[in-house]
Homo-oligomer: A and B are copies of this chain.
């Protein structure tokens, strides 16, 4: 495609976010990083993206200050990727995406099963459902406040992808 117009300098904040997030690969990689999958091969396997795309997007995320590359082993040299504060702040967006899809974009769900990921408020132990304010204690819910537990169906799908 021809060179698309750059939105990173528009006055509209949604436009600036769209410049980053209007890309399947970026969203999927961020999902993996939030799930704690930091290694290149794991990210590639779980997203289904090719290694060139994963490589290019991770480079970009590092350049934008959203992720950082760390060596988790010296011999052999092995790198992985961690979210920075700027990256962790994207949690609200991904959580809103999750909430929308659980409500409006139906999954190939087993009968009677609940959401694909159950989130529990670490502070008070309440299952928050798809709320942004804890229904148990009224606290706002941000990065680190929630503990997610994938359903058996989601777990099976993830295992199938990495096998």
Contact = CB atoms under 8 A, between A and B. Distances in A.
Given A86-B104, A92-B132, A157 B11 contact: yes
B5 A31 contact: no
A1 to B, nearest CB: 9
Oligomer: number of copies: 2
Size band of the A side of the interface? 35 or more
Nearest to A116: B11
A13 interface: yes
Q: Is the interface of A mostly helix, strand, loop or mixed?
A: helix
Nearest to A92: B96
Interface of A: 4-5, 7-28, 31, 48, 86, 89-90, 92-105, 107-109, 115-117, 132-133, 140, 151, 153-154, 157
